[in-house]
Amino acid sequence: MGARQQHWAGFFFIAFGALAIWAGRGLTVGTASDMGIGYAPRALAIGCVGVGVILLLQTLFSAPVDGEPRVSLAWRPLVLVTAMVLGFGVLLPRLGLPLTIALMIPLAALSGESFRWPTMAAIAAGMALLCTLLFSTALKLQIPIWPF
Amino acid sequence: MDLFSNLALGFGVALTLKNLFYCFIGALFGTLIGVLPGIGPLATIAMLLPITFHLEPTGALIMLAGIFYGAQYGGSTTAILVNLPGESSSVVTALDGYQMARQGRAGVALATAALASFFAGCVATIVIAVAAPALSRMALLFGPPEFTALMLMGLVAAVVLATGSIVASIGMVMIGMLLGLIGTDLTTGEQRFTFDVREIFDGIDFVVVAMGLFGVSEIISNLADRHTRELPATKITRLLPTKQDFLQAAPATIRGTLLGSILGVLPGGGALVSSFASYSLEKRLATDPSRFGKGAIEGVAGPEAANNAGAQASFIPMLALGIPPNAVMALMIAAMTIHGITPGPKFLTDQPTLFWGMIASMWIGNLILVVLNLPLVGLWVKLLKIPYAYLFPMILVFCCVGVYSINYRVFDVFLMAGFGVFGYCLRRIGCEPAPLVLGFILGPMLEEQFRRTLLLSDGDFLVFVTRPLSATLIGVTVLLLVMMALPTLRKGRESAFRE
Amino acid sequence: MIKAWAICGIAIATAISTIVPAAAVYPERPITTIVAWPAGGATDLVARGLQEALGKSLGQQVIVKNVPGAAGTIGTSEAAAATADGYTILITPSGPTVAQPHRMKLTYDLSSFDPICKLVEQPLVLMATKSTKYKTIADLIAAAKAAPGKITYGTSGPGSITHLAKLALEKAADIKLKHVPFKGSADAVQALLSDTVDLYSDQANLVPQYDLLPIAIYGETRSDNFKDTPTVRETGFDVVMTNYNAIFVPAGTPDAVKTKLGQACKAALDDEKVKEIYGRQKYPIAYQDAAAFKTYVEADYKRVKDLVEAAGLGKK
């Protein structure tokens, strides 16, 4: 864990802990020997904040390392992969399994990896067929197959 | 000796053509669904239950048991190949197994996992045959204080799993526990952190969390640093372990088997605790612990052995007492009930052919599995040669279908996307997901047992130390903590002196 | 042009004529049975045991659809929201229909359903290990009066039928027992066998399976399996608590369809195969027709409401 990462991690733990304290504000806390349902959440949330504070304090004492990359997010794959998964969830009940898969796989073209369209199309069709046969015909899962 | 005549009886049952067929079908089907992420043995056995209405009981149970341990074999395959643990126990295998795959040693990792599982399965079968009645009593020695202590021990071991900062991994365990508390509280029936979303009233499913944090976020980061990523396909050299690999893996396998056979008997996550207890143990014993998390073969062999031994050992309390130590065993009991057989203290004397037939079939099943899986290793490794542009959408499709099929709702698919983004962000800030996942599983169990302990003792904490078994477990936990803290303290001092 | 219109007209007429009698020949397509629990659970097995025979007597395929979650309320909500045409039916135990409406904010209530019939029913049995100090209800009540809140009673979760049995017993006998909830009956039995809890109540078949002592039966009559065990009612406390599975359809389903379904269910329960499957699983068949079951379930609804509210388990 680099110093920059640790900096962010410190803030993350504090934020998560604070969020948990806020979300659990209505729960009965009680005492250690007579725990309410809010006891464990409160203790863990405070623990999270504590971990965050320690991590931040540690960064104050550790010397900054030269050349450590900045903490950044790769937006393109992040958005693409999320969109593919969300797309599956949105389309499946409306279009059924094979069409959803056939539409979802070609989205991978946007990933920036090198590929060829005929192969991609063949994989999309093949996966649509394979998954339908495997999950619906063989394993008998209750998955919608057709849009009608 | 009695044991031999019993085993002879068992093999007589298990080696009939029909039962061999059921055993093979079970093992094959188990491997298949184990490899498919998200579709676990629980769902499969549940789906097959109605079919067993029409089968005769011995064959049906041999098949269902085959599915269970076959899935344990298959589950490690996706964990190693694409960092996709479909089951809680494969989380540990993924740590070093996936790193081995990235170094071009996927074949070695898969073969090691299969061989370690085979060894563990054989030993565990013998343990069941010899000691089932004696070991089953162990499950009855465990009351709420003992379970609490066991869960604490597991959580301490969970911290060891991470390679980075200990403080951060403690934080990750706590976040995991918080996420695990989402849902309906057991004691009061009230909702916690559910925000009136009915889909999470029963809590978030483990598979959703694991597939998001490991599988989906792994794909995002692979695509993100594709320029620096070394393609595993170019480097695969051999499929089978070398002599040195073998020498490193063998002791770990034996220790893992031992841990799994003992802890697997305990209800409520014993088998799971054994797999990461084994990982922590290997990391402690290693001359160079820094290899762990970077492709150490002991980190695959030990937990795989523990996991498989634990899975088999979990049959002991089910067969000898009728107490199911996990959800799959509960379904096995349902399967027996369908046929009018009631597992319980009288099962062994009432149904000797069924009991010994099942035990013999487990050994045969393990043999079938290793024969089935070793040749498959080459095939699985070839999958990694598929260019990533085609491979990653295929993995995503399997993740989505798997998660959808848990409860047949798209809500879980959306949730998995959320955990994928969450996991990717965690990686960017240097936090590893493994401790989080284990906190997620153990946290709610710990809270449940802890509150039950204090409810029964009227708030008296002394029960933890006045009961010998729980006192021992707490002692071991404290020892683990001290051992864990010592090197850190020493290192801290060293670096302080250096500056 | 006229010809085209004529064809259209004939086509529409044909379409209408196929729709109109269709209602009379219910069912003309497969029927979906919603089970609000995962496959392999007790309710699922009741549904799947009936599936084939019900399909045969209706002349259509019956599909079991598992919609698990939130103590059965997710699947039950889905059934309540389905079109009231008889093509979606619900097989359920009492929890989601008579208990959960008092405990959670739901999109449905008991009145969202029309009962078809009761299928199987068995009384809970109050049980303990053979080494227990409480061999009879009288022992138990005397001990509980001497030390209120000390005797432990395991249940499979707050608001579950096992918990309701404890609440009803406490209320009738005016005693206080310590409630120890578990995640399900397997965990509770482990606790009973390891002497973590004193008492538990659940289905009768657990008694021989784990070699337990049946203290009393929460039923109307004694059980054939243990003739020496009294009912709770015999000991002077009017408590009856049974676990039943029943069939419901969304409210507003046409009467003709309900009658047809009711007859088909009756025929299916008389089927030898079903009798054998239920017999092996120890589900006693307890058929009750729509009218009788309606009275029954409505009384149950009121009784559970009082219990839940008195125990402070109601919705906030």
Q: Phi and psi of A111, rounded to 5°?
A: -75, -15
Residues in chain A: 148
CATH number assigned to the domain comprising residue C283:
3.40.190.150
The verdict on a CB contact (< 8 Å) between C211 and B346 is: yes
Residues A48 and A81 in one domain: no
Residue B257's CB: how many other CB atoms inside 10 A?
30
Q: Which of residues 19-78 of A touch B (CB under 8 A)?
A: 20, 23-24, 27, 32-35, 37-38, 40-41, 44-45, 47-48, 51-52, 54-55, 58, 71-74, 76-78
Mean pLDDT score of chain C: 85
Residues C99 and C167 in one domain: no
Q: Which positions ≥6 away from C316 have C-beta within 8 Å?
A: none
Contacts of A9 in chain B (CB under 8 A): 168, 171, 429-431
pLDDT (0 to 100) of residue C107? 86
Beta strands at B183-184 and B191-192: parallel, antiparallel or unpaired: antiparallel
In a domain? residue A21? yes
Residues C115 and C258 in one domain: yes
**Are the C-beta atoms of residues B193 and B182 closer than 8 Å to each other?**
yes
Residues A11 and A53 in one domain: yes
Determine the Cα–Cα distance for residues A1 and C208; give it in Å rounded to an integer.
Answer: 58
pLDDT (0 to 100) of residue A50? 95
CATH number assigned to the domain comprising residue C185:
3.40.190.10
**Are the C-beta atoms of residues B68 and B45 closer than 8 Å to each other?**
yes
**Interface probe, candidates C187, C207, C315, chain B, greatest B C-beta count within 10 A:** C187
The angle at the Cα of C180, spanning C176 to C182, to the nearest 5 degrees, equals 150
Place of tokens 């359920």: C92
Residues C254 and C294 in one domain: yes
Domain ranges, ordered by start, for chain B: 2-141+203-424
**Are the C-beta atoms of residues B406 and B398 closer than 8 Å to each other?**
no
- With CA atoms as reference, report the closest residue to C176 among C313, C311, C315, C312: C311
Instruction: For residue B334, give both structure tokens.
Output: 């349902």
pLDDT (0 to 100) of residue B493? 46
In a domain? residue C231? no
Q: Which residues pair with B14 in a beta bridge?
A: none
Instruction: For residue B347, give both structure tokens.
Output: 């099962």
Residues C115 and C132 in one domain: no
Q: In chain A, how many domains are there?
A: 2
pLDDT per residue as tens digits for the range C233-242: 998 888 889 9
Using the 3D structure, point to which of C201, C217, C233 is the last residue of a domain. C217
Determine the Cα–Cα distance for residues B9 and B402; give it in Å rounded to an integer.
Answer: 40
Domain ranges, residue A83: 75-138
Mean pLDDT in consecutive groups of 10 residues from the start of chain B, 499 residues? 80 90 91 81 77 81 89 86 81 90 89 92 87 76 88 81 80 94 84 85 86 90 69 60 89 93 77 82 84 90 91 84 79 80 77 87 91 85 85 91 86 95 92 87 89 90 90 88 68 46
Residue B205's CB: how many other CB atoms inside 10 A?
18
Using the 3D structure, point to which of A21, A39, A61 is the last residue of a domain. A61
Chains touching B (at least 3 CB pairs under 8 A) are A, C
pLDDT (0 to 100) of residue B496? 43
Residue B214's CB: how many other CB atoms inside 10 A?
30
Q: Could you tell me the CA-to-CA distances from B302 to B285, B305, B312, B380 in Å, in that order?
A: 12, 5, 16, 22
Instruction: For residue B435, give both structure tokens.
Output: 């401790």
Q: In chain C, how many domains are there?
A: 2
In a domain? residue C139? yes
pLDDT per residue as tens digits for the range C154-193: 998 888 888 989 999 998 999 999 999 988 787 888 899 8
In a domain? residue A92? yes
Q: Which residues of chain A register pLDDT less than 50?
A: none
pLDDT (0 to 100) of residue C10? 54
pLDDT (0 to 100) of residue B488? 59
Q: Could you tell me the CA-to-CA distances from C281 to C54, C92, C160, C286 in Å, in that order?
A: 18, 17, 21, 14
Using the 3D structure, point to which of C159, C183, C217 is the last residue of a domain. C217
Using the 3D structure, point to which of A61, A94, A110 is the last residue of a domain. A61
Answer whether C107 touches B (CB < 8 Å): no
Q: Residue B81 carries which DSSP code?
A: H
Residue B339's CB: how many other CB atoms inside 10 A?
18
pLDDT (0 to 100) of residue A120? 94
pLDDT (0 to 100) of residue B143? 87
In a domain? residue C222? no
- With CA atoms as reference, report the closest residue to B461 among B74, B187, B149: B149
Q: For residue B405, give the chain A residue with the closest CA.
A: A141
Selecting from B45, B140, B198 the residue whose C-beta is nearest the C-beta of C40 gives B45
Q: Could you tell me the CA-to-CA distances from A85 to B219, B306, B426, C18 in Å, in that order?
A: 12, 34, 19, 42
Domain ranges, residue C287: 30-121+243-310
In a domain? residue A67? no
In a domain? residue C176? yes
SS3 content of chain A, % helix, strand, coil (to 5): 70, 0, 30
In a domain? residue A145? no
In a domain? residue A39? yes
Q: Which positions ≥6 away from B337 have C-beta within 8 Å?
A: C205, C280, C281, C282
Answer whether B47 touches C (CB < 8 Å): yes
The verdict on a CB contact (< 8 Å) between B144 and C196 is: yes
pLDDT (0 to 100) of residue B301? 94
Cα torsion B308, B309, B312, B313: sign = negative
Instruction: For residue B58, give both structure tokens.
Output: 């011995």
Q: Residue A33 carries which DSSP code?
A: S
pTM: 0.84
Q: Which of residues 124-143 of A touch B (CB under 8 A)?
A: 127, 131, 134-135, 139-143
Determine the Cα–Cα distance for residues B291 and B278; give it in Å rounded to an integer.
Answer: 16
Determine the Cα–Cα distance for residues B332 and B354; give it in Å rounded to an integer.
Answer: 13
Element (H, E) at C128: strand C125-128
Q: Residue B372 carries which DSSP code?
A: H
In a domain? residue C60? yes
Give counts: helices (H), strands (E), chain A.
5, 0
Q: Which residues of chain C register pLDDT less than 70?
A: 1-24, 316
The verdict on a CB contact (< 8 Å) between B189 and C186 is: no
Q: Residue C205 carries which DSSP code?
A: T
Interface pTM, i.e. ipTM: 0.94
- With CA atoms as reference, report the closest residue to B308 among B344, B271, B341: B271
Instruction: For residue C148, give both structure tokens.
Output: 């209120």
**Are the C-beta atoms of residues A10 and A53 closer than 8 Å to each other?**
yes
Selecting from A8, A51, A109 the residue whose C-beta is nearest the C-beta of B170 gives A51
Answer whether C178 touches B (CB < 8 Å): yes
